[in-house]
Amino acid sequence: MSKSHNRTELSELGEFGLIDHLTGNLKLKNPAVIKGVGDDTAVIDIGDSYLLATKDLLIEGIHFDLTYTPLKHLGYKAVVMNLSDIAAMNGTPEQILIGLAVSNRYSVEALSELYEGIYYACERYKVDMVGGDTTSSPSGMFLSITALGRVDKDKVVYRSTSKVNDLVCVSGDLGGAYMGLLVLEREKSVFKNDPTMQPDLRGHDYILERQLKPEPRFDILAELKKADIKPTAMIDISDGLASEILHICKNSKTGCNIYEDKIPIDTATAIMAEEFNIQPVTIAMNGGEDYELLFTISLSDHDKIKNIKGVTVIGHITDESSGVNLITRNGTAVQIQAQGWEHLRQKNRI
Amino acid sequence: MSKSHNRTELSELGEFGLIDHLTGNLKLKNPAVIKGVGDDTAVIDIGDSYLLATKDLLIEGIHFDLTYTPLKHLGYKAVVMNLSDIAAMNGTPEQILIGLAVSNRYSVEALSELYEGIYYACERYKVDMVGGDTTSSPSGMFLSITALGRVDKDKVVYRSTSKVNDLVCVSGDLGGAYMGLLVLEREKSVFKNDPTMQPDLRGHDYILERQLKPEPRFDILAELKKADIKPTAMIDISDGLASEILHICKNSKTGCNIYEDKIPIDTATAIMAEEFNIQPVTIAMNGGEDYELLFTISLSDHDKIKNIKGVTVIGHITDESSGVNLITRNGTAVQIQAQGWEHLRQKNRI
């Protein structure tokens, strides 16, 4: 990579490195800010409870491809991504704001479809759309969604508070969203090479739904509450298990052992991974976009968690010096590296 | 304009028409939302006070041109635009979240400069940057800023609450930001035609600063408070006086008379307008980006407002049937039309 005297390429830092670089020296000015940059949402003291605020961007050609993403699904997913961040703080979402920039390639009807998906997600999760900004872009579509939520002060869960011996748990199953993406990309390229071919998506319902219509796991939060379990740390899985467990361990100053044979992977995901000649565990670790919850609980809650359907214990927290490890099926400890799905997709990214 | 059966072009509706179309049927689900779409910010009941939330997009090639906009100024202005919306609700800004998408054309150093401007504005207005999202774009820069603020419940000011006989007031002077833009555009095209020419920006400090480094008018809010004046309605001037007074009148279901000879226009703005062969009043009405406050006050506050420096009474509110009028210097009433600066810039916009 060429590098002139005063020019550092974005790719040299990567997304998280860039964020650290740009926000590393930030000092908070107002005592109301309990948590700024560095968790799933900001946490702000508003008196009786905490306000949660988060923002995600979705950019055409980077995060979505409209040749196979219905606009209604895109709208729905854009909201869900943000609500999932609120879930990861153990909070309840309340409002969203929408920023939308589009070129004149889009018609009013197309945008109505997008908003249908947005409103459908709002309806389902009892969230109000309260404002935003609509403008033009020179080309393509840019979506920016801000979600606001609330959490009782004694209920908030951060990334940074896992403790040695805590159990590491994950909701649902992993890797499906990424396999759905690979199938969509494959059918797109088949169609590109031979436009008389019809995309063959039969039998892939599960992984396609994982990619196109993810859901935030408020149902799991409700189950945890019912079982009287408060996670000791939590994050949502947007970039893949590897990246997220590293966030928890780095922020909590701990290590962990994750057991490969415990990681929940749906059969449909595993079959497709084999078809693509990729290890299913690689997809689960680095696939991303599953929007499941990764959380730690106290060892004493082990008996309670066992009975909760849809939660799997995949490992435990260790001290920092032990490192962040994947224990493979043959018992070898492999250090977990952050790749994230962005790396997997191998596009021209930060 | 061509129009196929099921395709309505965005330009047929325009920005405000599109927003109405996409949000017209919205029903609020949570009683905590006091105001959703349709004012400078959303207003949310958080117990002792109201939370204010607003979001603005800034898109390269639409809202800014980096050939003449220093990145530091861009960052500063991006924050100010949003803080100005908080000011328009009579509130105090507290936090911002930043969404940034950039192509790899930008270096780390360039983004550091952008953030320097962002943090400078945060410092000046005592605001914390508490989160956001950083990602790639296929080309160009996209900025999305969300600002959060607070206002005492009895202090909030909406657009929709002006009353017949109220005085219409404006802070500062109008049209300068747009004249600054025209000068920058002129020097850019001179440079394009002859790269040996150096841009000549001498003597244009005031209008250039109006364009490149606007300030939100919290100082005016402080003066109003000191004088014990609570505006009856308020909005910030981002799209030009015409567009904003129409918002106030439409939302308040009133009319108004604005007097041309009362509209504050700086000499530097007027001189440049003449040089460009445009009526200064046209610039003030439609130029936009001044980020001044347009507000109405009760007639009984007339004596108090007279003593506040930097505020001009430019007209009064009438009943709805009288219409929204500009009374020209020769006494003719001309109906005010919404053009907005987007129209003036004549680019390919929504």
In a domain, residue A83? The reply is yes
pLDDT score recorded for residue B190: 85
Residue A341 forms beta bridges with which residues?
A: none
* Greatest Cα-to-Cα distance within chain A, rounded to the nearest angstrom: 62
Nearest to B28 among A41, A128, A136 (CB): A128
Residues A284 and A250 occupy one common structural domain:
yes
Domain final position from A152, A187, A211 = A152
Structural domains in chain A (count):
2
- Contact (CB<8Å) B130/A95: no
- Contact (CB<8Å) B44/A94: yes
Strands annotated E in A139-193: 141-152, 167-171
Residues B340 and B298 occupy one common structural domain:
yes
Alpha carbon A31 to chain centroid, angstroms: 29
Q: Which residues of A touch B108 (CB under 8 A)?
A: 7-10, 12-13, 18, 21
- C-alpha–C-alpha distance, residues B339 and B287, integer Å: 9
- Under-50 pLDDT residues of chain B: 1-3, 340-341, 343-350
Domain span at residue A124?
31-152
Instruction: Please tell me which residue, B20 or A264, carries the higher pLDDT value.
Output: A264
Q: Which residues of B touch A5 (CB under 8 A)?
A: none
- Dig out the tokens for A2 from the structure: 């060429």
The interface predicted TM-score (ipTM) is: 0.92
A195: CB partners within 8 A, 6+ apart: none
Q: What does the pLDDT look like over A139-194, one tens digit per residue?
A: 999 999 999 999 999 999 999 999 999 999 999 999 999 999 999 999 888 888 88
Q: Which residue has the tokens 């009405």?
A: B285
Q: What does the pLDDT look like over A303-342, one tens digit per residue?
A: 999 999 999 999 999 999 999 999 999 999 999 987 644 5
Can you give the C-alpha Rg of chain A in angstroms?
Answer: 20
In a domain, residue A241? The reply is yes
pLDDT score recorded for residue A347: 37
Using DSSP's 3-state secondary structure scheme, residue A138 falls into coil
Closest alpha carbon to B133 in A327, A82, A160: A82
- C-alpha–C-alpha distance, residues A331 and B147, integer Å: 50
Residues A146 and A50 occupy one common structural domain:
yes
A50: CB partners within 8 A, 6+ apart: A34, A43, A44, A91, A150, A151, A152, A153, A156
In a domain, residue A121? The reply is yes
In a domain, residue B5? The reply is no
CATH of the domain at B297: 3.90.650.10
Mean pLDDT of A237-244: 94
Domain final position from B124, B152, B180 = B152
Residues A215 and A297 occupy one common structural domain:
yes
pLDDT score recorded for residue A344: 44
Q: What does the pLDDT look like over A13-55, one tens digit per residue?
A: 887 788 888 988 888 999 999 999 999 999 999 999 999 999 9
In a domain, residue A58? The reply is yes
Residues A146 and A250 occupy one common structural domain:
no
Task: Give the best residue of B30, B82, B146, B239 to mutate against chain A (max A CB count within 10 A).
Answer: B146
Residues A140 and A209 occupy one common structural domain:
no
Using DSSP's 3-state secondary structure scheme, residue A49 falls into strand
Strands annotated E in A121-196: 128-136, 141-152, 167-171
- Contact (CB<8Å) A54/B136: no
Number of Cβ pairs closer than 8 Å across A and B? Answer: 265
Distance from CA of A275 to the nearest CA of B (A): 30
In a domain, residue A8? The reply is no
3-class SS letters over chain B: CCCCCCCCEHHHHHHHHHHHHHHCCCCCCCCCEEECCCCCCEEEECCCEEEEEEEEEEEECCCECCCCCCHHHHHHHHHHHHHHHHHCCCCEEEEEEEEEEECCCCEHHHHHHHHHHHHHHHHHCCCEEEEEEEEECCCCEEEEEEEEEEEECCCCCCCCCCCCCCEEEEECCCCHHHHHHHHHHHHHHHHHHCCCCCCCCCCCHHHHHHHHCCCCCHHHHHHHHHCCCCCCEEEECCCCHHHHHHHHHHHHCEEEEEEHHHCCCCHHHHHHHHHCCCCHHHHHHHCCCCCCEEEEECHHHHHHHHCCCCEEEEEEEEEHHHCEEEECCCCCEEECCCCHHHHHHCCCCC
Distance from CA of B125 to the nearest CA of A (A): 10
Residues A110 and A228 occupy one common structural domain:
no
Residues B146 and B172 occupy one common structural domain:
no
In a domain, residue B28? The reply is yes
pLDDT score recorded for residue B339: 66
- What is the value of pTM for the model shown? 0.93
Residues A144 and A178 occupy one common structural domain:
no
Which strand (E) or helix (H) includes residue A59? strand A49-59
Closest alpha carbon to B133 in A263, A214, A273, A63: A63
Helices (H) and strands (E) in chain A, counts: 11, 13
Distance from CA of B311 to the nearest CA of A (A): 29
Q: What does the pLDDT look like over B251-264, one tens digit per residue?
A: 999 999 999 999 99
Q: Is the pLDDT reported for residue A137 higher than 50? A: yes
Amino acid letter, residue B291: Y
pLDDT score recorded for residue A339: 66
Q: Which residue has the tokens 């962040």?
A: A324
- C-alpha–C-alpha distance, residues B201 and B79, integer Å: 25
In a domain, residue B140? The reply is yes
CATH of the domain at B59: 3.30.1330.10
- Contact (CB<8Å) B133/A57: yes
CB B199 within 8 A of CB B190: yes
- Contact (CB<8Å) B131/A42: yes
pLDDT score recorded for residue A195: 80
Instruction: Please tell me which residue, A24 or A348, carries the higher pLDDT value.
Output: A24
Determine the Cα angle at B46 with ends A29 and B34, to 5°: 120
Domain final position from B152, B177, B207 = B152
- Contact (CB<8Å) B144/A55: yes
Distance from CA of B274 to the nearest CA of A (A): 30
- Contact (CB<8Å) A51/B53: no
DSSP class of residue A40? Answer: S
CA torsion sign for A258, A259, A262, A263 is: positive
- Contact (CB<8Å) B101/A62: yes
pLDDT score recorded for residue A116: 96
- Contact (CB<8Å) A41/B126: no
Residue B100 forms beta bridges with which residues?
A: B134, B143
Residues B250 and B138 occupy one common structural domain:
no
Residues A288 and A245 occupy one common structural domain:
yes
pLDDT score recorded for residue B5: 60
Residues B146 and B211 occupy one common structural domain:
no
pLDDT score recorded for residue A267: 96
Give the nearest chain B residue to A22 (CA atoms): B112
pLDDT score recorded for residue A191: 82
- C-alpha–C-alpha distance, residues B324 and A300, integer Å: 69
